[in-house]
Every structure is written in structure tokens, then in C-alpha cells.
Amino acid sequence: MNNLNTTNPNHYLFETKHLKIAILGGIRFNNLEALRVTLGISKQKSEQVLRQNIDLYNDTSIEKLTRKVAERLEVGTTIVRRDLDSLTNELENYRLQEVENQNKSYEKQVKVLTEKEIKQAKEFLQNQNLINNTQELIGKSGVIGEEVNRLLMYLIFTSRKTNNPLHCISLGSSGAGKTHLQSKVAELIPEEDKIEMTVLSANAFYYFNRTELQNKLILIEDLDGAESVLYPLRELQSKKRITKTVAHKDKKGTTKTIHLTVEGPVSVSGCTTQESIYEDNSNRSFLLYIDESEIQDEKIMLFQRQLSAGKINHEEEHASRDLLQNCQRLLKTITIKNPFAEYLTLPNSVFKPRRTNAHYLQFIEVITFYKQYQKFHHIDRETGEEYIETSIEDIQEANELIKEVLLRKSDTLTGASRNHLENLKEYLKRNNQTQFTNSEIRRNLRVKETTLRRYNNQLLLENYIKKVQNKNIKSFCYEITNPDEYQDLKVMINNALQECITQIQLATAQPTNHIKMAKSKQTKSIT
């Protein structure tokens, strides 16, 4: 019987009744249109070996080799040809099997949930206090502090399963924990639903399979290392598909034009220290500013000490991660309708209001989507479409989480400059003074001279600080123009969001004709 021995990857052995054939150097697993090998052919129980480099898919070469082997080893041509054909079949089958195995090893295996896991995840998703419970579970999974950012990020990652996913960019100084936060929250997303990238080439996105990225979470550790793909990334976010036209030669050498298309939608998350460079991308994303306060520092250092002391419950961390991953697996894409959308307006202070308004509405839909196991599933009489509806509670929970995002969207300063200004205000208030000098701030707030100069230039340009002459030291110093401006902005945003809720409550107390007509379209609802 024919026997292909592939134990040694560099020296396969194929034996028949008459011949012993060594495949020197193994075979290549790419270029499946050819099967180039180096053969060492000998007669059984003979030391004479004929070595030949050949493409086993080339019939002319096979004919020549058959005659050469038959003549040199004194074996019939029929026997030689039959054995070479058998070798070709064996190698072909082996190569195809190995290629298939390699592809399977690259594929992320989808976990099949047990009945117990399904029941546990459903009970969690059906809990009326879902958002707060999720916040608590994220903390137990090992994400330290960053309460608002971590919950926002988790819900943004959840949006990958909706028709209009959200995106986020984490911003902060070097070493502040941007990548750490992203990677820890990403651990709560199933492996099969995310793709992590460190460095990308200019054409990387165009060579995924057409549907390989659909409803996936794309994690980019550092946007600075992905500058070449920022344009296709933006198009994938906005248009939910990208297409590239390239020239390609077929087997006959004819040049043809082919289209490489990759379908979305996707949810994209990245980290950077340079907010201004990625303005086009940040307009499409939620900007999450890392908490660099002393309180957050203390939380992290306390965790580090507990970890070193062996007082961290790793089993609880794994159980929390598994439960949140299983909840993600149970969530199904479904249409969401917000009957209160017409009453939701943003504060006038928000920049880029069109895109920000879309993000606001989409975030409310994500809250509704995440709570789908608590909702009635309605059927539209005209289309037969199944959908769930947003409730006032969903909007209130979204408003609480999105306040900081809207506040940053309304600010004329970059995140770093705003953080510096607020630290400056706190320092002046603590020391009961209104004026300050550069040397004083460098010494007490530990800011580099070049960094402080950059902050001052922006603050002066935007009229947040002004130069004044100090009579005591007879020199110029600085003074904050309006210490309460940021607090006033917070109050304005809070009032605007609360006004939306008030309008909705008034409308639901006295339903308008519009809402009545919308409700009349619903034929039935199922839990």
C-alpha cells in the first residue's frame, strides 16, 4: 500500500511496492496552482538514487522524469508513472488538509454556551437595575476606577452588534493608562467579536474577506502607528464599507481590473496622546479623557498593593468577565425605535451639532439595545418588522453617562488644556489667590516649561487667562478671566438635558396625535 510519511517536515517519505521516493525539503503550502518538489527516487532495496527538481503539475516534465527513472532504475514506465501519479495525489490531499487546518487555527472559535450559562446571562440581562449591575461587574472584572469611562466604553463596544455602531478614542498623557483601560474593557467582549491591531499597513483593511469585519470591534492600541489607515478607517465608520480598485493579472497574463470590497459596520476604538492630529477621526467618535486625578492614582496604587499582597480574588474577576462575555453573546441585532426622539435637543454650545446629535441618539439606542431582554418585542403591522422601543428611563440613564462627553464637545479647549486649567483653578482656590506666575505653577503643579508655555498660549488665545501686572513683584503674571465658566457650562448642559426629560414627561401625560398614530401601527407585542 502507498504510504506518505510526513513525520519529518523536511524529508517526507513515500513508498510503493517498487519505489521509495523521498521529498526533500517538504512542500510549500502557498501557491496552490503549482506543486514544486525535489525528489530522491530509488528502487526498493537499492542504494542508487535519482534526484530531480520538478513541478508535479507539469505533465510534460512528468513524462520526461518517467522515462528517465525507468531507464536509470530499470523499472517499467507504467509502474513509474502510476507511482508518480499516486505521489501527486497524496501530496495534494495532504497539502489541502494542512491548509484547511491552518485556516481553522486562525479562526476564533465561537464558544457554545451551556444551559446554565444561558440562564445566568438571561437573568442578569433581565434585571431592572442592569446598568448599575453592569457597572459593578466591570469593577469586579479588574477595571480599576474610571467609572464613567469604563461603562461608556463597554456600551460603545456593545454597539458593534447594532446597525449604527459607535466609536471611541481614549485621550490622555503618556502613561496615564489609555491602552490599559481599552484592553481591560475589551476583555469583556467575546474573542470572536474583536480584532486587535498594533501596526497596520496602508492597504491592510482592503484585504480582509468581504464580511470578515461585519459587526466586529476593531481595537487599535496606538493611533500614531496607524496613520496610514486613518482614511479607510474613517470611510468604514461613515459609509460602513470600503472599496479599492486594483489591477490584477489572471493565469493567462491578461490584466484585469478587480474591486476589493470590505463590508461593515464596525465599532472602532483607539488610543492617542495627540487630540488635535486626529480631528477628522475624533468627530466620528466619543472622546474619553482618562482620569489623571490623584484619587484615580490612589485607586490604582491600592490595587497594586493588594495584588502584591495576594488579596485580589482572581476567581471573581474571571467569573465577572465570563458573565459579561456571555451576555454579549446573547444580544441579538434588532431594530430600535425611539418614540421620544423629537423631544431630544442638544445645548446650543455643542460644536459639530449634527454629528454630535446623531451620536447622542445612537447612544440612547445602545442603552435600549443592551436592555432588550427587558423590553416588549413589537411587530409592525405594515412591514412585519420586529422592534423594541426606547423608554424614558433609557434616556435618563444615557443622559447621566453622556454629560461629560457633551461637556467636552462644548468646550473650546483641548482635553489636556482643560485639565490644566481646572487644576490651576483648584490650586488658586486652595491657596486663596487670584494671580499666578509661570515659575510658581511649574514648581507646584510639576508642569514642564514647554508644556506650560503651550497651555498658556492656548488659554491666552481663547481668553481664559490674561496677563496682568503684579504690584508687589513689579512684574507680569497671569489671572483667570472667569473661574466659574466651566461650572456654568456644566449647569447649562444639565439643564438642557433635564428640559428634554421634562418635555417628554409632559408629552406622555398628554399624548400628541403623533404618538397616538405611532402606537396605532403596533399590532401586538411579545415579551
Residue 8, helix vs strand vs coil: coil
**CB 200, CB 228: distance < 8 Å:** yes
**CB 370, CB 396: distance < 8 Å:** no
Residue 478, helix vs strand vs coil: strand
Radius of gyration, CA atoms only, the chain: 32
pLDDT computed for residue 374 by the predictor: 93
Residue-level pLDDT, tens digit, the chain, 527 residues? 457 888 888 899 998 888 999 999 888 887 778 889 999 999 888 888 899 999 999 989 999 999 999 998 888 999 999 999 999 999 988 988 888 877 665 555 678 889 999 999 999 999 999 999 999 999 999 888 888 999 999 999 999 999 889 999 888 877 778 888 999 999 999 998 998 887 777 677 787 888 888 889 989 888 776 777 777 888 888 888 888 888 776 666 678 888 888 888 999 898 887 766 556 666 788 888 888 888 888 888 898 898 899 888 889 999 999 999 999 999 999 999 999 999 888 877 777 778 788 888 999 999 999 999 999 999 988 888 899 999 999 999 999 998 888 888 888 888 788 888 988 999 999 999 888 888 888 888 888 888 889 888 989 998 999 988 876 666 788 889 999 988 888 888 888 889 899 989 888 875 544 444 444 444 334 33
Q: Using CA atoms, how far apart are residues 178 and 126, in angstroms rounded to an integer?
A: 32
Q: Grid coordinates 426629560 are at which residue?
A: 501
Residue 215 makes CB contacts below 8 A (sequence gap 6+) with: 160, 161, 165, 193, 265, 266, 333
Q: Using CA atoms, how far apart are residues 143 and 146, in angstroms rounded to an integer?
A: 8
- Check the CA dihedral 359-364-367-369 and report its sign: negative
Label residue 393 exposed, middle or buried (CB < 10 Å: 0-12, 13-18, 19+). Answer: middle
Whole-prediction pTM value? 0.75
Length of the chain: 527
Q: Using CA atoms, how far apart are residues 110 and 476, in angstroms rounded to an integer?
A: 65
**CB 314, CB 368: distance < 8 Å:** no
**CB 167, CB 264: distance < 8 Å:** no
- Check the CA dihedral 471-475-481-484 and report its sign: negative
Residue 335, helix vs strand vs coil: strand
- CA–chain centroid gap for 386, Å, is 28
**CB 214, CB 352: distance < 8 Å:** no
**CB 170, CB 181: distance < 8 Å:** yes
Closest CA to 425 of 378, 398, 459, 384: 459
